Amino acid sequence: MNLALVLHFYCGKKNRDKRSNHLISGLYNAISGSIAQERTLEIISNNLANMSTVGYKGDIPLFKSVLSNTQNQMQEAPGVALISLNEQSSPFKDANSFVVLDKIVTDFSQGVFKETGNKLDVALDGDGFFVVETPKGIRYTRQGNFSLDSSNRLVTQEGYPVMSSSNNEIVIDGKTIEINNNGEISADGKIVGNLNVVDFPKPYSLKKIGNSLFASIEKDSQAKEYAVKQGFLELSNINVIREMIQMIDSLRSYQSYQKVIKMSMETVASRAVNEIGKLNT
């Protein structure tokens, strides 16, 4: 029997009793919980995939329980990709409560430092971001594994120019390169520029755009509490053990939800068949 037809018949208001309502509500709760855990696993997997990415900041999913029997609460819930609360056809609109993705926040805590000895590798100890110029405008990053392009410009791994405190490209023409704690760059004893290190009000509202770059709609300001460390890189702030524990917990929760869904659907299908049989007699 087609499962969609069974649910359509069984969920009709004329065919539901109190016990049926609880059963269907529990099914919807399990489905929403299962979707939430799937999204959690995707985020954790992405964090683990970037554990070796310089300057990467991990993502944290935040979920909320929505009581759908209060229309105001449904309207106030955020519009997210997991479940559209504004769709009248949503199968969750009659459930007592369900889980939705509230938002994904970025953990901006500082990662550990790795000494490389490379004169063009720099790490920020404290607050702030480096400023880079991309084809889509100014972007911000903590990824300090810079290099020189064919024009001796200081650039990111993607070839984007690193900006100076005067909002100019930094050209380094010399063999002996020194970068002090304030970000001042010297080549063969001559000052050639100063790294532009900026910051934003906390909590940060920066948006990830890939390659450890961030975009912001807020105006940046000069960072204050920081020190530039030459010859070091800030690694990702991913705690592998913590992520693995969360992955195991999410996987177990997902499997539990799947069992509930399977049992509920079997019960729904069985009772629907019996009800259809009574209507045909």
Domain co-membership, 134 together with 220: yes
Residues 205-231 have a mean pLDDT of 94
Of 40, 211, 239, 34, nearest in space to 139 by CA = 211
- Together in a domain, 90 and 165: no
Percent of the chain with pLDDT over 70: 73
* CB-based contacts of 155, cutoff 8 Å, min separation 6: 146, 147, 148, 149, 161, 162
Q: Are residues 215 and 249 in the same domain?
A: no
Q: How far apart are CA 110 and CA 229, in angstroms?
A: 14
Say yes or no: 229 and 90 in one domain. Answer: no
Question: Are residues 188 and 130 part of one domain?
Answer: yes
Range of lowest pLDDT (154-158, 191-195, 237-241, 265-269): 265-269
pLDDT at site 82 = 34
Q: Which domain holds residue 133?
A: 113-234
Mean local confidence (pLDDT), 111-123: 96
> What are the residue ranges of helices labelled H in the chain?
3-10, 18-49, 71-76, 240-280
Segment 210-221 shows an average pLDDT of 94
Q: Are residues 165 and 121 in the same domain?
A: yes
Q: Is the pLDDT of residue 270 over 90?
A: no
Give residue-wise pLDDT tens across range 29-67.
Answer: 777 778 888 889 999 999 999 999 999 999 998 887 766
Residues 218 and 267 in one domain: no
Residue 208 has pLDDT above 80, yes or no: yes
**pLDDT digits over 140-188, tens only?**
999 999 999 999 999 999 999 999 999 999 999 988 999 999 999 999 9
Same domain flag for 223 and 248: no
Residues 273 and 183 grouped into a single domain: no
pTM of the model: 0.75
- Residue 64 confidence (pLDDT): 77
Same domain, 176 and 131: yes
Q: Report how far residue 188's alpha carbon sits from residue 233's, in angstroms, rounded to the nearest whole number.
A: 23
**How far is the C-alpha of 46 from the C-alpha of 30, rounded, in Å?**
24
Distance CA 209, CA 138 (A): 12
- pLDDT of residue 216 exceeding 90, the answer is yes
- Rounded Cα–Cα distance for residues 235 and 257 (Å): 36
Task: Say yes or no: 103 and 139 in one domain.
Answer: no
Count of structural domains, the chain: 2
If one compares 19 and 122, the residue with the highest pLDDT of the two is: 122
Separation between Cα atoms, residue 206 and residue 107, nearest integer Å: 11
156 and 59 co-located in one domain = no
Res 115 pLDDT > 90: yes
Quick one: what percent of the chain has pLDDT higher than 90? 57
